[in-house]
Structure 1
Amino acid sequence: MNEVDDSILEFLHELEIDGHPVALKPGAVHYNVVTEFGMLDKSLSTFSRRMSTLADHGLLEKAGDGKGSPYKITNKGRAYLAGDLEADDLEQD
């Protein structure tokens, strides 16, 4: 886990509407986190790669099939943000 992972998870968590996750493609997350909020200076490819990795660990899930599908945060992602799940625990998955 790194600062990009945390920013992605926090951003997607903040976008939830009435407890329902919002699904966004890596480009939209990158645009908002980097351009609009100036939180990080990382490339779109970094965001795409990290979102795929977060999905591999169950913190995000694809909201569709295919390479360009959007991602949304999972309960496991929320548990990580709440401090109920440690990064070390993710390595065991």
Structure 2
Amino acid sequence: MVERISWFSPADYEIFLFFEAHDIGATSKVVAHNIDYNDVYVNKRMRVLEDAGFFTNTNGIYELTDFGRAFLAGEVEAAEVEALDDSE
């Protein structure tokens, strides 16, 4: 997969692994069920990842963006992803 990113939660990696294995559109509830995390928490993290440009959300259906696919393929530098942290 990818390098560790300081602002990612453990669930974020599981979310990415899910979409790496299943390049589909899915609700956060479906993702949560499949990665065995709380659906409210996964929904929160999916919104964070969407804001960072990894996913699009159309009517509650999340899909990887081209940037998200490039990240999974290891084509995005960790420093670029670190710079996307807006929690500071």
Length-normalised TM-score, structure 2:
0.74
Query: Does 2:16 correspond to 1:45?
Result: no
Please, which runs of 5 or more residues in structure 1 have no aligned partner? 17-21, 35-41
Question: What is the deviation of 1:24?
Answer: 0.7
2:55 maps to which of 41, 48, 60 = 60
Tell me the equivalent position of 1:3.
Answer: 10
Question: What is the deviation of 1:91?
Answer: 4.1
Tell me the equivalent position of 1:89.
Answer: 80
Which 4+ runs in 1 deviate beyond 4 A?
none
Question: What is the deviation of 1:87?
Answer: 4.1
Question: What is the deviation of 1:86?
Answer: 3.6
Separation in 1 of the partners of 2:62 and 2:48?
11
Query: Does 2:73 correspond to 1:78?
Result: no
Identity %: 27
Question: What is the deviation of 1:47?
Answer: 0.3
Separation in 1 of the partners of 2:46 and 2:78?
15
Q: Which has the higher contact order (CA 8 A, sep 6+)?
A: 2
- RMSD of aligned alpha carbons: 1.7
Question: What is the deviation of 1:88?
Answer: 3.4
Separation in 2 of the partners of 1:87 and 1:6?
14
Tell me the equivalent position of 1:12.
Answer: 19
Tell me the equivalent position of 2:30.
Answer: 28
